[in-house]
Amino acid sequence: MQNLTTQKLIAVLTLVGLLFAAYLYWSRAASPIEVEIKNATTVTVAVRLESDADNFYPVSMVVPASTAKTSTTGKDKSLKAIVLYADGQTKQSQTIDATKPGAVLVVVTSEAVELRYKP
């Protein structure tokens, strides 16, 4: 009998540990970067993975001028928002001045990232 009770206790503790680990994993997933868009007509969004730094992966998302903010959410807390401009300027920022031509928001991450509007 005591052996069965010990096995049940171990099973319950294991389940609690797994649930806690899952909570920790998903709680760190919510690390959004909000990007303010000033004077925008449209802003192109692309994703660059740290493991494949030579390629940009465009995302089919165009941000209209009426959208005040957009946010990126990923499982990696080291998400960085980098703005590239057609004149060659690059700045790490959370503000996009889309009056400059060819403003591209590049999200650099080591994992896949989900992009979504935050109106």
pLDDT digits (tens, 9 = 90+) for 62-114: 443 333 344 444 443 444 445 544 454 544 444 445 455 555 555 554 444 44
In 10 A of CB 47, how many CB atoms? Answer: 20
Instruction: Give the rounded percent of residues in the chain with a pLDDT score beyond 90.
Output: 0
Q: What does the pLDDT look like over 46-57, one tens digit per residue?
A: 555 555 555 555
Specify the pLDDT at position 24. 64
Specify the pLDDT at position 16. 85
* Residues 35/82, Cβ–Cβ less than 8 Å: no
Rg of the chain, C-alpha, whole Å = 21
Model confidence at 13: pLDDT above 70: yes
Report d(CA 60, CA 51) in Å as an integer.
21
Mean of the pLDDT values across residues 4-15?
A: 84
Going from the C-alpha of 63 to that of each of 26, 31, 43, the distances in angstroms are 28, 21, 5
In 10 A of CB 108, how many CB atoms? Answer: 19
pTM given for the model = 0.27
Specify the pLDDT at position 22. 72
Specify the pLDDT at position 62. 40
What are the sequence ranges of the domains in the chain?
Answer: 1-29, 33-118
Specify the pLDDT at position 27. 54
Model confidence at 15: pLDDT above 80: yes
